[in-house]
Structure 1
Amino acid sequence: MVERDNSGLTELRRGVLVLAVLSRLQVPQYGYSLKQALAEGGMPVEEGTLYPLLRRLESQGLLASEWDTTSAPPRRYYRLNAEGERVFALLGEAWRDQVRVMNDFLDEEPADERG
């Protein structure tokens, strides 16, 4: 069994975090609600990781955000914009392709190197 604090697991999770975040931002979310949605889906993430990622994705032109000042406290809601939707679709397709490849690798019988 892989330990949760294993650096390999950390790297694997870091690699899929962008796709996970984009998947949850198909509907508008504020930071804490996004953090909860990710955790409920099995991918807990620290605020110190999530908020910089949101700012980076927005600066890359994948997200739009707006402040809701009618709530107390005011909340900044993030959502995919058109470019974010396009990138999400491409990354989703690439993810599915990689899962198929990795499933084949993991299911493959080891080659007998002696023969």
Structure 2
Amino acid sequence: MAENDTPTLALELRRGVIVLATLSQLRTPRYGYELRQALAEGGMPIEEGTLYPLLRRLETQEVLTSEWRTNEGAPRRYYVLSTEGRRLLKRLTETWYGLNEAMDRLLTNGGSDGR
């Protein structure tokens, strides 16, 4: 594999966790910029051009609900997990921990430290 393939593979790996990271921050209502800040502070910075289409897609899939609020100055669209979104977050979290445990075993016991 060429050295220049590494950023592409790392991006693919990261894409797989962006949904889980986003859902994890929407247990309570947040608007887009606030969500981006929370993700960045947690070590998962995300570009607007990635986040907003993701939020729209998750809302279309009925994983999120949203509402416009105008009581705090500029109108802002707040997103929060729907009932289905909470169930999905639980399932994805369980899957994440299972994969994490498996990868930890594979990387530490696979005959190589993976570095």
Q: Same fold, TM exceeding 0.5?
A: yes
CA displacement, residues 44-101 of structure 1 (integer Å, 9 cap, x when unaligned)? 0000000000000000010010010112210000000100000000000000000011
Q: What stretches of structure 1 of length at least 5 have no aligned partner?
A: none
Normalized against structure 2, the TM-score is what?
Answer: 0.89
Alignment of 1:1-115 (within 5 A): 6-110=7-111
Q: What stretches of structure 2 of length at least 5 have no aligned partner?
A: 1-5
Normalized against structure 1, the TM-score is what?
Answer: 0.89
CA distance, structure 2, for counterparts of residue 80 and residue 60 of structure 1 = 11
CA distance, structure 1, for counterparts of residue 64 and residue 32 of structure 2 = 13
Could you list the structure 1 runs, at least 4 aligned residues long, displaced by more than 3 angstroms after superposition: none
CA distance, structure 1, for counterparts of residue 13 and residue 29 of structure 2 = 26
CA distance, structure 2, for counterparts of residue 49 and residue 18 of structure 1 = 11
